[in-house]
Amino acid sequence: TDPKHYPSHLITLSMPLDRDAVYDAYEAVRDDSNPMSWLVLKYEEKTIVVAATGTDYDEFITHFTDDKRVYGFVRLETGDELSKRAKFALITWVGQSVSPLKKAKVSTDKADVKKVIQSYAKEILADDLDEVSESTIMEQVIAVGGANYGTGVRSK
């Protein structure tokens, strides 16, 4: 889909969003042939913009700080040796020192972000780094993904 031709429900946004750049980064993360595995959206003055993209999860989580509101979209590989599948998570981060007014704006702003970032297995709201560790996100994505084949050992 050409990012310049959005369905009509994407036209009206309550928060300015750099739609073309967000859409392009989103499509790159979803593209199996592209090594990019995550994107980060942040507030730049009064607009939500693509602040960073990359391939290293440790770099991804450096963007989640106590003083920021961040939207993260990440690709994770699930399955076993015989059946690898890409799964996606949308993370809404509201740092613990973000003002109450800015915290309140996140729910309406997130609705606008979700008009562009539409396909993911799990949506996560977090304010603590333990909640966005790669293993925690992977566990949550696998849990909503149904059958999990692999070693034959069940976790308790």
Task: Report the amino acid identity of residue 104.
Answer: A
For residue 108, give the H/E element and its range: helix 100-113
Mean pLDDT of all residues belonging to the chain? 87
Three-point CA angle 12, 14, 17, nearest 5°: 80
**φ, ψ (nearest 5 deg) of residue 108:** -75, -40
Distance CA 103, CA 95 (A): 9
pLDDT digits (tens, 9 = 90+) for 66-76: 999 999 999 99
Percentage of the chain exceeding pLDDT 70:
83
Q: What is the pLDDT of residue 1?
A: 44
Report which of 48, 26, 45 is spatially closest to residue 37, judged by C-alpha positions: 26
